[in-house]
Chains A and B, each alone.
Chain A
Amino acid sequence: MSHEPEDRPVPQSPRDLELRVNPIACDAHGVCIELLPELIVADPWGYPLIRPGPVPLRLQALARRAVADCPTLALLLAERPAGRPEAARRQVRPNR
């Protein structure tokens, strides 16, 4: 669990952004899965599974579009916390 302040500085490089799902808001509409199959796939129940790691620069525009088009606004493009290992398995930081 991390307690770093949420108002971190503006990201300096494209490596700093990652996709996150608010699992409470997500209703498995699947819009993001259609828009961004490179980074988002459906789990067996239709909910989005996000490829771990930073959003590549070439996909950032699409990622922003997916965020804007989610009917329940459940997809977030957030700054990657510093020091997160490259291949982190978790896309969300659940609260304990």
Chain B
Amino acid sequence: MTTQNARPTASAIQPPGPGDLRLIVRDQPMSLAAHVAHYGPVPLHAARPSALIAEVERAGLTGRGGAAFPTGRKLRAVATANSGRSTAVVVANGSESEPASSKDAVLLTRSPHLVLDGVALAAEAIGAARAYLCVAARGSLVQSLADALAERDRARLAHVPIEVIGGPDGYLPGQETALVSVLNGGRPMPSFVPPRPSDKGVRRQPTLVLNVETLAQVALIARYGAAWFRSVGSDASPGSALVTVSGGVGRPGVREIPLGTPLGEVLRRSGLSSPAQAVLTGGYFGAWLPLPAAFGVPVSAPGLRAAGASLGAGVLAVLPDTACGLAETARVTGYLASQSAGQCGPCRNGMPALAEAMNWIAFGQPDTDVIRWARQVTELITGRGACHLPDGAAGLVTTALAVFSAELRAHARAGPCERTRRPAVLPIPQLSS
């Protein structure tokens, strides 16, 4: 793909090699000048902008916002819905509602221009007229991204107008139909599909909702191509991804990994030393995996799916031996229940029921009836909300009851042990109501 608004010559730039970091290359915010010097100019104004869609399809990029949906297919769906018009809208999802994730905030802070490049390139590829970049209003991102956009204006980098939107706190505002609702002036509540945002989203126009890391990957594919993208990772799951490692590790934080790296290797690189019993993968709508049994599981969407878990938002939260997995799960389930929009009957009734059952299992002395009820509620809420919130809570509880089965028996026999009274490993956001 060629470029017209080049300043440094593209040929002088070496694409990142196999061992190099791709997405976050500085521990400071990268200025536009440093960004262009490192990655080369933004390949905007291509002769055939839609060629990028085929390149993304060839790359095999999947969404980094949670569902690992093929990005090329989504781009094509919106481009098709938009064909003959140019009213489509791009929504870059940087809400990062997942409490144990910080990869999107770190990416937006250190590499803002890579994400903005991705927004501009995706907009050009589908023929969109405008774009929104949604982040949490709380924090400094709204300001730092406005500064980055001003930097681009000063450099006369011409592309679709991008508006930074500071969204509300909470777990639901990051869900794509809730995001669309906020942009339409409504409340942060999911809506029933169809219509999908790709057909009718912001102002009822075809709307492309992509996670900000996904868009940064699009910016790299536009520069260096699909073959380069696939030169790390595995065939089934090409490329790299950002993960947020937290909990019982010596060096918690965000790191970029080749997809398919064994879980044990990722955790060891993050300084896993003391004994750990399990890891929460994906996020709070994710799944528990036992340690060390799961050390060999490839960290990738298909690898984790085969192990009964998910890559989700790239969360890997390690549970040390000193903590109680049932108590952690009960607290997270209570948090998720508090975040229900209360729009769907099975979610409005089932989420509190699940949280109550989990509380009793963790902090009471559960009999078989309570455990059976908890399992039954997970089945009753799965797939029965307009959004995936109840499914996520169900998966979390189901895997907790399996991975922490020894604790479950111990609680049933003798009640909770003193580990349930230790400080929580998984952060629970302050509930604002």
Residues of A with Cβ closer than 8 Å to B?
A: 1, 3, 5-6, 21-28, 43-47, 49, 89-96
Q: Are A96 and B387 within 8 A (Cβ)?
A: yes
Q: Are A95 and B190 within 8 A (Cβ)?
A: yes
A-B contact pairs, 15 of them (CB 8 A): A6-B195, A6-B199, A23-B343, A43-B380, A45-B346, A45-B350, A47-B345, A47-B349, A89-B383, A94-B383, A94-B385, A95-B177, A95-B190, A96-B67, A96-B69
Chain B facing A: main interface SS: loop
Q: Given the complex, which residues of B lie within 8 Å of A3, measured CB to CB?
A: 69, 73-74, 77, 196, 198
Closest to A90 in B: B383
Q: With A1-B69, A89-B382 known to touch, is A95 a contact of B345 (CB < 8 Å)?
A: no
Q: Identify 13 new A-B residue pairs, CB closer than 8 A, beyond the known A23-B385, A24-B344, A96-B69.
A: A1-B69, A3-B198, A23-B344, A23-B346, A25-B192, A27-B345, A43-B346, A45-B346, A49-B380, A94-B388, A94-B390, A95-B387, A96-B387
Q: With A45-B345, A95-B177, A95-B193 known to touch, is A24 a contact of B386 (CB < 8 Å)?
A: yes
Q: Are A23 and B66 within 8 A (Cβ)?
A: no
CA distance A25 to B73 in the complex (A): 30
Q: Are B344 and A26 within 8 A (Cβ)?
A: yes
Q: Given the complex, which residues of A lie within 8 Å of B343, measured CB to CB?
A: 23-24
Closest to A52 in B: B383
Interface size for B (C-beta < 8 A) is 36
Q: Are B384 and A23 within 8 A (Cβ)?
A: yes
Q: Given the complex, which residues of A lie within 8 Å of B66, measured CB to CB?
A: 96
Q: Given the complex, which residues of B lie within 8 Å of A43, measured CB to CB?
A: 346, 380
Looking at A28, A45, A96, the one whose CB has the most chain B CB atoms below 10 A away is: A96
Q: Are A93 and B198 within 8 A (Cβ)?
A: no
List CB contacts (< 8 Å) of B229-246 with chain A: none
Q: With A6-B195, A96-B66 known to touch, is A90 a contact of B382 (CB < 8 Å)?
A: yes
CA distance A24 to B385 in the complex (A): 8
Q: Are A47 and B346 within 8 A (Cβ)?
A: yes
CB of B176 closer than 8 Å to a CB of A: yes
CB of B391 closer than 8 Å to a CB of A: yes
Q: Are B67 and A26 within 8 A (Cβ)?
A: no
Q: Are B385 and A45 within 8 A (Cβ)?
A: no
Residues of B with Cβ closer than 8 Å to A?
A: 66-67, 69, 73-74, 77, 80, 175-177, 190-196, 198-199, 343-347, 349-350, 380, 382-388, 390-391
Q: With A3-B74, A24-B344, A45-B350 known to touch, is A92 a contact of B195 (CB < 8 Å)?
A: no
Name the distance in Å between B17's Cβ and chain A's nearest Cβ.
34
Q: Are A94 and B386 within 8 A (Cβ)?
A: yes
Cross-interface CB contact of A95 among B77, B346, B386, cutoff 8 Å: B386
Looking at B66, B387, B390, the one whose CB has the most chain A CB atoms below 10 A away is: B387
Looking at A90, A93, A94, the one whose CB has the most chain B CB atoms below 10 A away is: A94
Closest to B65 in A: A96
Q: Given the complex, which residues of A lie within 8 Å of B388, measured CB to CB?
A: 94-96
Q: Given the complex, which residues of A lie within 8 Å of B386, measured CB to CB?
A: 22-24, 92, 94-95
Name the distance in Å between A95's Cβ and chain B's nearest Cβ.
5
Closest to B190 in A: A95
Cross-interface CB contact of A23 among B67, B69, B347, B391, cutoff 8 Å: B347
CA distance A62 to B268 in the complex (A): 59
Q: Are A45 and B349 within 8 A (Cβ)?
A: yes
Q: Are A91 and B383 within 8 A (Cβ)?
A: yes
Name the distance in Å between A51's Cβ and chain B's nearest Cβ.
13
Q: Given the complex, which residues of B lie within 8 Å of A44, measured CB to CB?
A: 349, 380
Closest to A21 in B: B384
CA distance A28 to B340 in the complex (A): 18
Name the distance in Å between B374's Cβ and chain A's nearest Cβ.
13
Cross-interface CB contact of B192 among A6, A23, A49, A91, cutoff 8 Å: A23
Q: With A6-B199, A44-B380 known to touch, is A94 a contact of B345 (CB < 8 Å)?
A: no
CA distance A39 to B175 in the complex (A): 31
Q: Given the complex, which residues of A lie within 8 Å of B383, measured CB to CB?
A: 89-94
Closest to B195 in A: A6
